[in-house]
Amino acid sequence: MRILITGGAGFIGSHLAETLIADGHRITVLDDLSGGQRSNVPDGADFEQADVSEADLDYLLARHRSEVVVHCAARASVSHSMSHPLADYHANQLPAFRLAEAASRQRVGQLILLSTSGVYGPVERPARETDLPAPANYYGIHKWAAERYFALSGVPWTALRLANVYGPRQRSDSEGGAVAIFLSHVLSGEPIHLYAAGEQTRDYVYVSDVVSAIVVAIQQRLPGVWNVGSGKETRIRDILDAITAALQRPANVQIEPPRPGDVARSSLDASRLVGTGFWRPTVSLEDGIRRTAEFWLNRGISS
């Protein structure tokens, strides 16, 4: 199939591009390199450097004869969304609207959105797809709106609500995930800001398991909303402990108050997706952290 991946120079999108190329698909990566890197785009992918919120998407979809679009491009930062809500709207809601409209006009066969557990807001148990969304931050609001644009487009659509994804190539700056940030800071000796003393819980899922879920969404043309997570809650401070143990180095920790928009607990019930018989998470947290630590040790701390 001819598959266009927005944000394919980023963390999840580049792993997805690699897997789909290996499976024999023709891949176009559309990325403005605002957060991703050209070197992440695998050989064999066509590359279009363009911003989804401005590019002529009709032209690009027609030019690459895209049958499936996987929309990974985003500014994935809760804290940035709270400090810059309008910028987050432009980064996360508007591009999804434009893509939905263009995909409809160009008769794309399937639209897939990488959405987030953040649409649910705080939870007392693993969230289910049938739970009413109640996002606690602008990032979650704009992703939820993006889902609805896809739903209204008339194009067969899938929204994968991802838990906290981690693995090699994830950004380690303030817009990255805790695993990447902790790994890079433990290796460099930089202070680690532990918000809410790291007592918040999150659901961690390894990037290859997320890529498998996207592949299943394409192969099975999964309709509507699907959770992708482990169903397990892990405290952020326990992630840090696992990382210091894996690296056998201490962390320079600074306890900070909770950040606006951060929920105390988050986890996903993925039994709907597991129940299809086509997917289940296969990489344990321990193994995933070990693999990610190896990536960081091999690449060195400077990059």
Ligand X SMILES: NC(=O)c1ccc[n+]([C@@H]2O[C@H](COP(=O)([O-])OP(=O)(O)OC[C@H]3O[C@@H](n4cnc5c(N)ncnc54)[C@H](O)[C@@H]3O)[C@@H](O)[C@H]2O)c1
Q: Where are the beta strands (DSSP E) in 133-239?
A: 157-162, 164-166, 191-195, 201-202, 204-206, 224-228, 234-235
> Does 165 contact ligand X by CB under 6 A?
yes
Question: Is residue 140 involved in binding ligand X (CB under 6 A)?
Answer: no
List the one residue from 5, 41, 69, 72 that touches ligand X (CB under 6 A): 72
Residue 114 makes contact with ligand X by CB under 6 A = yes
Q: Figure out which of the listed residues 13, 42, 135, 261 binds ligand X, where binding follows CB under 6 A.
A: 13
- Please tell me whether residue 52 binds ligand X under the rule CB under 6 A: yes
Q: Does residue 31 touch ligand X according to CB under 6 A? A: yes
Active site residues: 139
Q: If binding is defined by CB under 6 A, does position 9 make contact with ligand X?
A: yes
Judge residue 76's burial from the number of C-beta atoms within 10 Å of its C-beta, 0-12 exposed, 13-18 middle, 19 or more buried: buried
Q: Which listed residue (73, 155, 253, 273) binds ligand X by CB under 6 A?
A: 73
Please give the Cα distance from 29 to 180 (Å, whole number): 24
17, 100, 162, 263: which one binds ligand X (CB under 6 A): 162
Our CB check for ligand X shows the closer of 53 and 184 to be 53
Q: Does 11 bind ligand X (CB under 6 A)?
A: yes
Q: Which two tokens stand for residue 232?
A: 């397990």
Instruction: Give least dist CB 57 to ligand X, A.
Output: 10
Going from the C-alpha of 180 to that of each of 34, 91, 190, the distances in angstroms are: 18, 22, 13
User: Which residue, 63 or 249, has its beta carbon nearer to ligand X?
Assistant: 63
Question: Which among 203, 292, 199, 264 is positioned nearest to 237, based on CA atoms?
Answer: 199
Which tokens go with 2? 């001819």
According to the binding rule CB under 6 A, does residue 168 interact with ligand X?
no
- 76 touches ligand X (CB under 6 A): yes
- Alpha-carbon distance of 19 to 21, in angstroms, equals 5
Q: Where are the alpha helices (DSSP H) in 94-173?
A: 94-105, 138-152
Which residues of this protein are in contact with ligand X, per CB under 6 A? 6-7, 9-13, 31-36, 51-53, 72-76, 91, 95, 114, 116, 162, 164-165, 171, 177
